Structure 1
Amino acid sequence: MSAAAEPDRPVVDVGPPAHGGHCVARLDGRVVFVRHALPGERVRLEITDRRSRFWRADAVEILDASADRVPSIWPEAGPGGVGGAELAHVALPAQRDWKRQVLADTLRRIGGEEVAADVAALEESAGAAVPPVAVLGDDDATDGLHTRTRVELTVDAEGRAGMFRFRSHKVLALQHMPLAHEAIAELALLGADSPWRRTWRPGARVEAIAPSSGPPLVLVDGEAASPRKGRRSGPPRRSVREVVPSAVGELAYRVAGAGFWQVHRHAPETLVSAVLSAAGELGGKRVLELYSGAGLLTLPLARSVGEDGAVVSIDGSEDAVRDARRNLHAYPNTVLGKARVDAASVREAAAFDELAAGVGGADVVVLDPPRAGAGTNVVTAVAELAPERVVLVACDPAALARDLEAARRNGYRVTALAPFDLFPHTHHFEIVATLTRR
């Protein structure tokens, strides 16, 4: 059926993937970003958002399916459902190829041809524009399910736990959470018969945490809770223990339950390994770490530099810095500062006054910024320090592309790139980039 025959449910041929979990299609010359589709498919659309420059739509009927389409692992996240699993209908290998294509396109379109050429040169022998997206742990054996150790829910007006409908403030009660760690699923948070309903009220924010060591923790509006005893008395925050194996030995952390920690069960180990490998030999060197959080990377960096080296880390969150200080208390070769990461704080932190008798500069800089990226001013300030190498951890390919373009303008180019599938069944992934002076 043609678009003209049924204007409210037009039919389109789906084009390539785009950043954000969509595919690109065209309808009467207009760009339409389509969710729940795959490249090469012919689908019937339901238009969900009309804007002057583009429309958004859901694929509500698949007329000609891709060979990479599989039954959705989470139908509740399908058209009209909750956000958080927009690739649930895509076979895992195809998901990783999707992400590789998005990374290559974003590096070229936003980073520019020079950045794209630098990355392409790294993989010429493999014949790929960017490296393949790496699998974590046993994801292939588990189909990428039960990987998330942190889940956030909201309680609807009837007291049932759920999530927001995509691009909406409406809470949809859930029956299943196939991405959640088994320990979270066993808590029985979902459904009308959940024993937790006596613990919370409509509109409450529920956080479920399955740490690598110890029992799971549930926070209701920031307070530790139990289905039998209701909210517990005492401080509104509780910490959990996380243990991460690494090349520098077992790493132990205490992290506030409501604090930030990588959600994939294999992500902490994967990122520690990737960052240490990218940083190279660190013995006796000065490392500046930006956006340090609770110290996931700070601890292995402090062990790696040894007594003759130094690590200075800064983060803008007081809670995160408090956690980091607890985790690094046995390492006098570290300084952990609470400050907004900007050009001024980068220059001040790089003085290393407390550890290196006023010797300025840094041999290695490690950055793990939030989704928005570090930004031109911070990247420029880092380049002014003239480190031997920069290790940049990014969770958004567009932000990474912007930061790599700024680094190239300031004399650095990417010499290694490693993407990781830390978020199966979503469009998100993580990238560790190594930059050296040109």
Structure 2
Amino acid sequence: MLLKGKKVLLGVTGSIAAYKSAILTRLLVKEGAEVQIIMSTSALDFITPLTLATLSKGPVHHQFHDPKSGVWTNHVDLGLWADLFLIAPISANTLGKFANGICDNLLTATYLSARCPVMVAPAMDLDMYQHPSVKANLKKLKDFGNIILEAETGELASGLSGQGRLMEPEHILEYVISHFSKSQEFKGKKVLITSGPTQEAIDPVRFISNHSSGKMGSALADTFADQGAQVHLVLGKGAIKPDHASIKIYPVTSAEEMYQASSNIHHQMDICVFAAAVADYAPKNVSAEKIKKEGDGMTIELVKNIDIAYTLGKLKSPFQIHVGFALETENEEFYAKSKLEKKNFDLIVLNSMRDAGAGFQHDTNKVRIFTEEGKSFESELLPKNQIAELIIKEIKNLPVKI
């Protein structure tokens, strides 16, 4: 019973997929979860409270006040009771209310007052799911720190086929189990992560930069936060932001700003991960006005930026872990191992530009990891969140005590 002792508050909204909430309730209870259920008014047209009450072994809530019994349902108490608030299915209507703070029923009031993690599983027709307003509302919820279980693809109630089906109850159960089984090995540990590109100004409208998206750094930040760490993310301009609401973000633009933000907190950190693609050089002179196009060419004198990882590596204490990244195109292992030693890393992650689907901009990555002790590990091409888990696993295996 993988969910024994866990309290799951299940929200059910008006969707033809509401019948699957009965299956989901049964699966949750079978795994040992204590389940309470809130239904929206429109959900009552699709499945009866009696069915869900029988399966959950408890009352089903759908109104603040029952005029027959005189019982008052306290939405604040429900939100405080739960370890997880799971809304499956969530309709486009309720999704819009959640995203915009509209509070007109027991379910939406409980959502706004809940302190536990919130997980939502959308269900709607193909064109509704693809509508810009629905996409924007899903993004809002994700930005709020909610967990989105994307709709699955298949035959829909309308007769169309495409994305919009409620995730199957068995798959939702897997996500719930995974949510509660995440390791908290880094609880209380402070982690500094640098992520994304830096921009070095040429004039007020032009700059030197690179193709980094910050996706790898963001995945690492989310994974560390999921495992209990206090994450401090120094994030380059335009980089992808993480999902986890607890992550503290320090927005920066230039290499100098990234160094200042990192050095200010470095001494407080237990782990430092230098995942940013920092520009090696910057223009020596930055024009105060836009440089006009004249002649057939232009020469810009560049000066070397501070090497953030190298500089902070010299200040590293015996109780700190430093992790670096290397993106190479030739003699890859040699250059990665050279950086491992020169910058005082405990571990370095090598990306090769030769690997299709890896490196900048991609949602996937393929890495080789080298440790100071001489150990190495090579991954398959995997989504960056899975690569983040592999990197963190290797950090856990380091002999350094933190």
Q: Greater helix percent: which structure?
A: 2
TM-score of the pair, normalised by structure 2: 0.31
Of structures 1 and 2, the one with the larger relative CO (CA 8 A, separation 6+) is 1
TM-score of the pair, normalised by structure 1: 0.29
Q: Greater strand percent: which structure?
A: 1
Q: Which of these two proteins has the greater Rg computed from alpha carbons?
A: 2
